[in-house]
């Protein structure tokens, strides 16, 4: 997979998904379908703070948040999603309706072959949309944490050993790579991290750079499926994964 970031005046002329000045657009190449990922700072979201685009249910959910930062993240993520989906299907963003799939995964009503995924972490929200493929996205802030303690029940023995043989900061960085890859893969199915550790297994290539995901229930293409992983090196230090 090759990646390029597009934003503001760098957006391609005629692109139906129109990257703007408040977002970074990532274009995954080499997929069977077409895909885009947009990343937005919820504290500087511009038009993605417009609650007029949200449905009554989304407004109620936003109002339940006690912390302003959580509400801001929710509003930015869902207005970003509505804006980009509206451009993709040629319908007003505020008119889009959603339904729940078999495993709880949200779907666009009359969305055809379009799939999408949302994620957020401290200082960043992300929206991924794909046509002709099912996509999952997970974002995490790179930060020190108790990797071995958190890995219990999430990583299988091989993955756990891979993390345990490293020392910090490589240890917690590796754990977060596993965490986000599994989350992204299981979002394709719609379950989140609610499956046993031996499902959605991650295995790495000999050069330790290319991960593969196997054994995701109800996702036949995940058998030996190549995962995509990359890291943004900036002052916030986020990892983004898409599968």
Is the Cβ–Cβ distance between 48 and 83 less than 8 Å?
A: yes
Alpha-helical (H) ranges within the chain are 56-63, 68-89, 147-151, 157-164, 170-189
- Mean pLDDT within 159-185: 92
- Same domain for 76 and 39: yes
Instruction: List pLDDT tens digits, range 83-141.
Output: 999 998 999 999 999 998 777 788 999 988 899 999 998 889 999 998 877 888 888 88
User: Are the CB atoms for 154 and 181 separated by under 8 Å?
Assistant: no
Torsional sign, CA 153, 171, 225, 118: positive
Based on the fold, state whether residues 22 and 112 are members of the same structural domain: yes
Tell me how many domains the chain contains.
2
pLDDT over threshold 60, residue 182: yes
Determine the Cα–Cα distance for residues 197 and 222; give it in Å rounded to an integer. Answer: 16
What CATH number does the domain containing 237 carry? 3.90.470.20
Residue of higher predicted confidence among 40 and 229: 40
Report the predicted TM-score, pTM, of the whole model to 2 decimal places. Answer: 0.81
Confidence class for position 55, pLDDT limits 50, 70, 90:
very high
pLDDT, position 228: 57
Q: What is the C-alpha to C-alpha distance for residues 215 and 169, in angstroms, rounded to an integer?
A: 29
In this structure, are 100 and 148 located in the same domain?
A: no
At which of 103, 135, 167 does a domain end?
Answer: 135
Helices (H) and strands (E) in the chain, counts: 5, 13
Asked whether residue 15 falls in the same domain as residue 123, the answer is yes
Only one residue has tokens 């249910």, namely 57
């Amino acid at each position: 997979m090759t990646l390029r970031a597009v934003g503001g005046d760098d957006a391609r002329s005629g692109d139906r998904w129109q990257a703007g000045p408040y977002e970074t657009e990532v274009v995954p190449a080499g997929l069977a379908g077409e895909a885009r990922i947009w990343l937005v700072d919820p504290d500087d979201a511009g038009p993605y703070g417009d609650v007029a685009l949200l449905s009554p249910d989304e407004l109620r959910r936003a109002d339940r948040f006690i912390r302003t930062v959580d509400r801001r993240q929710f509003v930015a993520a869902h207005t970003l999603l509505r804006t980009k989906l509206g451009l993709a299907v040629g319908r007003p963003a505020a008119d889009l309706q959603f339904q729940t799939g078999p495993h709880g995964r949200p779907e666009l009503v009359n969305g055809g072959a379009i799939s999408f995924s949302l994620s957020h972490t401290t200082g960043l929200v992300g929206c991924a949309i794909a046509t002709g493929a099912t996509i999952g996205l997970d974002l995490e802030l790179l930060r020190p944490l108790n990797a071995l303690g958190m890995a219990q029940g999430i990583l299988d023995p091989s993955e756990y050993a891979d993390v345990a043989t490293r020392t910090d900061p490589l240890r917690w960085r590796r754990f977060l790579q596993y965490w986000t890859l599994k989350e992204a893969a299981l979002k394709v199915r719609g379950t989140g991290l609610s499956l046993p550790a031996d499902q959605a297994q991650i295995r790495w290539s000999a050069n330790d750079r290319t991960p593969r995901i196997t054994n995701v229930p109800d996702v036949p293409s995940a058998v030996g499926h190549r995962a995509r992983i990359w890291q943004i090196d900036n002052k916030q230090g986020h990892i983004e994964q898409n599968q």
